[in-house]
Chains A and B, each alone.
Chain A
Amino acid sequence: KQEVTQIPAALSVPEGENLVLNCSFTDSAIYNLQWFRQDPGKGLTSLLLIQSSQREQTSGRLNASLDKSSGRSTLYIAASQPGDSATYLCAVRRINTDKLIFGTGTRLQVFP
């Protein structure tokens, strides 16, 4: 059974810091891994999607890496801003299924 864990559960940092959010999964037979952002009371916004054959994806200040063999992904946020404050969720899609399995998320607060 695929289990997805995110560490830390919550993080509070001053503006300008570079930070890393971690995601680990137990079954390496995945099709892809996706990082989402969720603002309070809102839906999920897709940030980055990494196919199983890829090692990383970048979008602006965000960089996501994938190490399938060790069951890990990291989301790197450069030069954090207060507007980055949100909950970040990772989700994996297992091979031969269409189901996303979500982690419980990391709640990030960036203060000025």
Chain B
Amino acid sequence: NAGVTQTPKFHILKIGQSMTLQCTQDMNHNYMYWYRQDPGMGLKLIYYSVGAGITDKGEVPNGYNVSRSTTEDFPLRLELAAPSQTSVYFCASSAYPPKANYGYTFGSGTRLTVV
């Protein structure tokens, strides 16, 4: 059971370029999320989805886009990358309501550097 899988694990992007961070889960969770974590900071929610075809903004959505065409996949797209988007990106999923002791499952993260 793979859980939540993110690719790539590391990436260096040039300013102004675009890229897509991939996230897939095999737990049939209907809820999926994208967070970013900056050094010494907590996680901040970028976008989330409550099911295929439904997405909504989180706390810090500017500069990002998402889509949810299937239950399993929730890609995050960066358009016109900026140095401020240098961060570690985490994808997560959850069932609803959350089951005892297994609320959210996180991927291992994508470390992105914009230069």
Residue ranges of A at the interface with B (Cβ–Cβ < 8 Å): 4, 32, 34, 36, 41-46, 48-49, 51, 57, 59, 89, 91, 93, 98-100, 102-105
Contacts and interface: CB of A to CB of B under 8 A. Distances in A.
A48 B104 contact: no
Interface string B69-99: 0000000000000000000001010101010
- Contact-residue size bin, chain B (C-beta under 8 Å from the other chain): 20 to 34
Contacts of A44: 43, 90, 92, 104, 106
Interface of B: 4, 31, 33, 35, 40-45, 48, 50, 58, 90, 92, 94, 96, 98, 100-109, 111
Contact of A104 (B4, B42, B102, B109): B42
Interface centre among A41, A57, A100 (most CB of B within 10 A): A100
Contacts of A93: 98, 103
7 contacts: A41-B109, A44-B90, A49-B100, A49-B102, A89-B42, A100-B33, A103-B42
A48 B31 CA distance: 19
A98 B109 contact: no
A93 B4 CA distance: 20
A43 B42 contact: no
